[in-house]
Amino acid sequence: MNNPKKKSTERLYSLYFSDTMTFLNGYVALTGGFRFQNIMTNSYDYNSGLRDQHYDRNAITPVVGLVVHTTRHSSLYFNRIEGIAPGPQASGNVVNVGQMFAPYRTVQYEIGGKYDLGTLTASLAFFRMSQPNAYAQPYGDTGQNIFTTNGRQRNQGLEFNFNGQIIKGLRFNGGTAITDAVQRRTANGKYDGNKAIGVAGYTINGNIEYDIPHVQGLTLTGRVTHTGHQYADNANKARVSNWTSFDVGSRYTFLLEKHPMTLRLGVENLANTRYWASAYGGYLTEGLPRTFKFSVTADL
């Protein structure tokens, strides 16, 4: 790998136009628009360097959004967004490694509300989106896998987020997401209704920061990440257990010859928990072991 060769190229163009109209003294805002997207992708044979696949797709997709300010501090919103995205490319230990799939169209709906007091903000949203169902699966009786697409994947659920300053010097940012991801329109309906591969049923994340009194520029940080179980196959017979990880750290900001400097020291996965972080696409990704990180940044 001292001289890796080209495997794929991707070129994206986008042109976006929108306009927002307000009504009732600004309490209601309606946004409408469209986006032109072009995606050109190429894949190459790794050994010969010759192009073996090419896609050049474009689409004009609509965007619409509505915001209603119900009170001085709260609002409700709705949006519908369409787009196109590059198709997946087979990777890993599969018989069709390097195969590139065609760009696909996406649709997303979201409705929610937000409450903002300035120092504290909370939001709740319900979403629904769909995309092709792509994963690695056994290839006949060969003992090998093949990467393929089969039907659609529909994700829907809710997200709740809360952030702000609890007391002076103490800040919190976190939330949870509950996702129902199912397979639809699979070949002969074989996996219809099964959970999609690599999508956790729920996630809970929390970040906290505390400014140390009487030590200007010193902040302690903490983070907890909890991810629910995931399925690693479309038949839902292989399941990856849920996992929790704790991170701690600190940062110190100071001036050095009038230039802001920041020192950061952190420990990720403090308990050195062993876990599979993801089964996305049918591939198991190993969780990061206990890791120490140190960095210095400067604003010149």
- What residues in the chain have per-residue pLDDT under 50? none
> Hey, which residues does 183 pair with through a beta bridge?
153
What Rg value do the Cα atoms of the chain yield, rounded?
23
Q: pTM (2 decimals)? A: 0.80
pLDDT value at residue 135: 75
> What pLDDT is attached to residue 291?
97
pLDDT at position 136, please?
Answer: 75
Between the alpha carbon of residue 140 and those of residues 31, 50, 94, 144, the distances in Å are 50, 29, 12, 8
Distances (CA, A) of 201 to 31, 93, 168, 198: 32, 27, 35, 10
- At 200 the pLDDT is 94
Q: CA-CA distance, 117 to 73, in Å (whole number)?
A: 6
**pLDDT score of 164:** 94
Q: What pLDDT, on the 0 to 100 scale, is given for residue 281?
A: 75
pLDDT of residue 246: 97
Between CA 268 and CA 249 the distance in angstroms is 8
Residues of the chain with CATH 2.40.170.20: 129-300
Q: How far is residue 81's CA from residue 68's CA, in Å, rounded to a whole number?
A: 18
Quote the CATH superfamily of domain 129-300: TonB-dependent receptor, beta-barrel domain (2.40.170.20)
**Do the Cβ atoms of 79 and 61 come closer than 8 Å?**
no
DSSP 274: -
CA 241 distance to own-chain centroid: 20
pLDDT (0 to 100) of residue 38: 93
Cβ 207 vs Cβ 225: under 8 Å:
no
pLDDT of residue 30: 96
From 160, 165, 239, 158, select the one nearest 195 (Cα to Cα).
239
Instruction: For residue 273, give the amino acid letter.
Output: T
Question: Which strand (E) or helix (H) includes residue 175?
Answer: strand 170-184
The residues pairing with 195 across neighbouring beta strands, listed in sequence order, are: 182
